[in-house]
Amino acid sequence: MAVLATDNFNRADVNPIGSPWTATNAGANRNFRIVSNTAQEQLLAQDAAVFNTSVTWPNNHYSQAKVTVTGVDGGTGPGCGVRMATSDNYYRLVLDHASSGNAELAKFVSGSYTQLWSRTQAFTDGATFYLEVQGTTLIAKHNGTAIGASATDSSLSTGSPGLTYSSPASSASLDDWEGGDFSSGFPGGDEGGLWYMSIERG
Amino acid sequence: MSIYLLPLIGTGTKEDPRRPAYIQADAPGVEYSLMDYGTEPVCLMHANPSLAQHLLLIAHADVVALPANLDQQIGAQQAVVQNALQTLNIPENWVQSSFTYRQVLRVVALIFQFMQRLNFVTVDRLFGSGITLSTRFNQLPQAMRQQLIAAANSLGYDTSSLSGTNTLRSILKTLADQSNLLEVFLGEEVL
């Protein structure tokens, strides 16, 4: 795996969140904002989703962030998204603190919302949640451990990773976001990459 | 644990998401995994309901529960399986009595995967008014013909079956057979 972009949101409060983030839906209050060095939805009563534009994202990628939420509705709260694009296309994992069914994987295809699975995953605020897509396989993780079995879905084939929020919640925030791909890379990190580039350039 | 073939309800809005029918009423709080048939109102669901909840679910005439042992042959149930699939506009004439339920499920799941991609290409239903498994490609509206080809192209499939008098029954099966997916995940089952 290789990290392709990160954002710790440590900057002045701003609304909307701005570059390098783009909302999947151009409607009112569907974006994110920066509040107290975290990423938060613009409005607790409105779903929101933004994708990262720092790099040209490969089709296979992951998205992860630290999740903090107050809410027990089940299938609501903040989370991660993959293969996100405008016109409301994306897969999302969202979480709250309901005693059962608090983790939900869903897809939005041209804005149409389908619940792919509902599972239970207790967690403490600040836990890292992760969603990856490789080919047609979706895998969700909590602090590095899979949340149940993988899922197969063929609706979306391209897009970028990002942040998501499903209303309602009493409060919600995301921090220390990271996105990446599954390239093996070369040993030696950046130096290995430079070595590879030099070979390519002859 | 069980796999069900059942209606998918919901309009896809925040207030009314697309989801398996009956689960909220008959098995509230039960975890499930869903695989939709594109825009068609049908889905496969993997869930772990209690026996009482399972009995409530299968009491609905439009809910089909697969046997717990997916690796048994269909045998004498061949006609039952074919009828269940055909009723839901899922190609069925390829099902043989020697197939296991898992083998049948895998093909059905791959047909569903194609229909999911078609759903990305168009929000229109393939099996709209008057369209059945027996409808020929050249009887489809021009826009839907193009959308089927676009969906097949996006999956890297050969599109030669999308022509002339080929029926949707044969087209969907031919396209599914081209899938290179080694594993299809539905809940805890690998097909």
Residue type, B189: E
**One-letter amino acid identity for B1?**
M
Q: In this complex, do A118 and B31 lie within 8 Å of one another by their Cβ atoms?
A: yes
Would you call A152 and B113 a contact, using CB atoms and an 8 Å cutoff?
A: yes
Residue A141 has phi, psi (to 5 degrees) of -135, 150
Q: Do B185 and A151 touch (CB under 8 A)?
A: yes
Smallest CA–CA distance from A168 into chain B, residue: B14
What is the pLDDT averaged over residues A121-142? Answer: 98
Structure-block tokens of residue B107: 């093909």
Residues in A closer than 8 angstroms to B36, CB to CB, are 114
pLDDT of A188 > 90? The answer is: no
What residue of A is the nearest CA neighbor of B181? A136
Q: Do B120 and A119 touch (CB under 8 A)?
A: no
Residue pLDDT, tens place only, A49-75: 999 999 999 999 999 999 999 999 998
pLDDT value at A195 more than 60: no
Best probe of the B interface among A92, A94, A102, A152, by most B CBs < 10 A, is: A152
Residues of chain B positioned with their CB less than 8 A from the CB of A156: 120
DSSP string, B103-164: HHHHHHHHHHHHHHHHHHH-SS-TT-TT--TT-BGGGS-HHHHHHHHHHHHHTT---TTSST
Residue ranges of chain B with pLDDT lower than 50?
Answer: none
Option in A115, A149, A154 nearest B34 (CB): A115
Whether A201 shows a pLDDT value over 50: the answer reads no
Distance from CA of B154 to the nearest CA of A (A): 8
Work out the burial of residue B29: count CB atoms within 10 Å of its CB; fewer than 13 is exposed, 13-18 middle, 19 or more buried: middle
Please answer yes or no on whether B35 and A153 come within 8 Å at the CB atom. yes
Least Cα separation, residue A12 to chain B (angstroms)? 32
**3-state helix vs strand vs coil in chain B, percent to 5:** 35, 20, 45
Among B9, B43, B42, B3, smallest CA distance to B24 is for: B9
pLDDT digits (tens, 9 = 90+) for A147-187: 999 999 999 999 999 999 999 999 999 999 999 999 875 44
Nearest CB partner across the interface for A112, out of B18, B35, B186: B18
Structure confidence at residue B29 (pLDDT) = 87
pLDDT averaged over every residue in chain A: 92
- Chain B from 155 to 174: CB within 8 A of any A CB: 155
* Nearest CB to A115 within list B17, B113, B155: B17
| pLDDT for the residue numbered B154 | 96
Measured between CA atoms, how close is A167 to chain B, in angstroms? Answer: 9
Residues of A within 8 A of B17 (CB-CB) are 106, 113-115
Work out the widest C-alpha separation in chain A, in whole angstroms: 59
CB-based contact A152 B18, cutoff 8 Å:
no
Q: Evaluate the CA torsion angle A95, A98, A104, A108 in order and state its sign.
A: negative
Cβ contact, residue pair A157, B184, below 8 Å: no
Distance, in angstroms, between B115 CA and closest chain A CA? 8
pLDDT at B129: 86
With an 8 Å Cβ cutoff, is A137 touching chain B? yes
Instruction: Tell me: pLDDT of A192 over 50.
Output: no
Residue of A nearest to B39 (CA): A112
Residue A193 has pLDDT above 90, yes or no: no
pLDDT for B1 equals 65
The tokens 């405008």 sit on which residue?
A86
Kindly report the number of other CB atoms within 10 A of residue A40's CB atom.
25
**How does pLDDT run across A70-101, given as a tens digit for each residue?**
999 998 999 999 999 999 999 999 999 999 99
pLDDT tens, position by position, B78-100: 999 999 999 999 999 999 999 99
SS3 A124: coil
DSSP A82-108: EEEETTTEEEEEEE---SSS-EEEEEE
Helix, strand or coil, per DSSP, at residue B68: coil
B141: exposed, middle or buried (C-beta count within 10 Å: 0-12, 13-18, 19+)? Answer: exposed
Give the per-residue pLDDT at A121.
97
| Separation CA A58–CA A180 (nearest Å) | 9
Of B18, B29, B32, which is closest to A117 when you measure between CB atoms?
B32
In A111-130, the residues whose Cβ lies within 8 Å of chain B are: 111-120
